[in-house]
Structure 1
């Protein structure tokens, strides 16, 4: 199965968050020339209610197909109702998907939670990139001008995990005419020391970080010359920079793991913070 055979998976549960995620998934599938599969998982508990819940699922999926027709009429989405828990169903479907798109919270989420458990689990376990669509913008009174949010922001580390992040980020930017790719690399004096760079000279450490970022991106800029690229070595918190950038970005791209450190369900500290506090869509790339 080639990447063009693998659809975009949109998970829906009837919440406003999943409606927004479905809109995003439909636009992205159309933009990339991919198929779209709309999924609503039926949890295996409460078997006595299963028939009624299946009818509700069919109604939800039919409404979702009509919603896709309004957003991207060129698509002919398929639908699935796996009998499984949402996180397990999405993890299984990710083996043959190009992308999974979920809302930041579902019907069962508490408003006090910034990220729902199913969204966190999908981002932590899927075999393909997962986009979590945060709804902060949807709650604003004025509609979002998508043309004004043209930046793709990618957070990269100085290791092999950056390859997968850059591949996804450049491919995403290339599919959006006029998009600009901002590549953010956070560094500190401690990280400079650990990597064998300057320890006491901040200017020298900054120069070393800039060189590292240039080396990481050189081949990709040659492969995608049509993509306007900005390199941003940042002294201090990369996650703070990424969260701030996410407010005006079309998409913020981060890697799932880095350097063996993990929080939560296998997310690096930067990924955990960015995914939890972002103000726009975030793509988590397995690496």
Structure 2
């Protein structure tokens, strides 16, 4: 199965957050020329309740299909109602998906939580990139939020994990004509020291970070010449920079290391903070 055969999956549960995620998924599938599958998982329950819940699921999926017809008329979405817990269903479906899109919170979440358990589980365990679409405080974008942002922001580390993040970020930017890609690399004097770089000379450490970022991104501009690229080596907190940038970004892209899924260790502190506090959509890419 090639990447063009793998659909974008949108998880819906009837909440306003999942409706916004559905809109985002539909537009992204249309941009990339991919199919769209709308999923509503039915958690196992008593057989006596299953028929009513199945009927409610069918109604929700029918409404979702109608919504997609308004947002992205070129799509003909399919629907699925797996009998499983949402996080487990999405994890299983991720093996044959290009992208999973979820809302930041669902119907079962407490309003005080910044990120729902299913969203966090999907971002931590999926085999494909997961986009978490953050909403305003009441499930709606703030009315004063302004013109639709076009920047794609990617947070990269000084190691091989950056390849997958950069690939996804460049693909996303290329699908948006005129989009600018901002590549952020956070550094500190401590990180310079442990990488064998300058220890006491801040200017030299800054230059070393800039060189590292240039090396990480070498070759990508040739592959995607249509994408405007801005490199941003940042001294200090990378997560603070990414959270701030997310307020005016169409998408913020971060990485997640494979191998820690069973223990919930895939998300680094920077990724966890960015995903939890971001002010716009965040893509978590397994590396």
Q: What secondary structure is seen at the aligned counterpart in 2 of 1:29?
A: helix
Residue by residue over 1:126-156, the C-alpha shift from the partner in whole angstroms, topping out at 9 and shown as x without a partner, is 000000000028341246532xx01000000
1:134 match:
134
From the superposition, tell whether residues 125 and 285 of structure 1 become closer, same or farther in structure 2 (CA, over 3 Å). Answer: same
1:197 match:
197
Residue by residue over 1:173-225, the C-alpha shift from the partner in whole angstroms, topping out at 9 and shown as x without a partner, is 00000000000000000000010000000000000000000000011111111
From the superposition, tell whether residues 188 and 258 of structure 1 become closer, same or farther in structure 2 (CA, over 3 Å). Answer: farther
- Name the Cα RMSD after superposition: 1.6
From the superposition, tell whether residues 116 and 271 of structure 1 become closer, same or farther in structure 2 (CA, over 3 Å). Answer: same
**TM-score between the two structures when normalised by the length of structure 2:** 0.96
C-alpha contact 1:157 1:258 (8 A) present in aligned 2: no
Q: Distance in 2 between matches of 1:168 and 1:139?
A: 25
Are 1:238 and 2:242 matched, yes or no? no
Q: 39-48 or 223-232, which moves further after superposition?
A: 39-48
How many correspondences in the alignment? 284
Question: What's the CA shift for 1:258?
Answer: 9.0
From the superposition, tell whether residues 175 and 41 of structure 1 become closer, same or farther in structure 2 (CA, over 3 Å). Answer: same
Q: What secondary structure is seen at the aligned counterpart in 1 of 2:219?
A: helix
Q: Distance in 2 between matches of 1:62 and 1:173?
A: 31
1:50 match:
50
C-alpha contact 2:252 2:283 (8 A) present in aligned 1: yes
Q: What secondary structure is seen at the aligned counterpart in 1 of 2:218?
A: helix
2:17 match:
17
Q: Distance in 2 between matches of 1:258 and 1:77?
A: 30
Question: What's the CA shift for 1:101?
Answer: 0.1
The 5 A counterparts of 1:50-199 are 50-136=50-136, 138-142=140-144, 144-146=146-148, 149-199=149-199
Question: For structure 2, which runs of at least 5 residues remain unmatched after alignment?
Answer: none
C-alpha contact 2:258 2:286 (8 A) present in aligned 1: no
Question: What's the CA shift for 1:265?
Answer: 4.5
C-alpha contact 1:121 1:265 (8 A) present in aligned 2: no
Q: What secondary structure is seen at the aligned counterpart in 1 of 2:91?
A: helix
From the superposition, tell whether residues 259 and 91 of structure 1 become closer, same or farther in structure 2 (CA, over 3 Å). Answer: closer
Q: Distance in 2 between matches of 1:23 and 1:222?
A: 32
Q: Distance in 1 between matches of 2:98 and 2:50?
A: 30
C-alpha contact 1:264 1:272 (8 A) present in aligned 2: no
Q: Distance in 1 between matches of 2:241 and 2:168?
A: 20
Q: What secondary structure is seen at the aligned counterpart in 1 of 2:226?
A: coil
**TM-score between the two structures when normalised by the length of structure 1:** 0.96
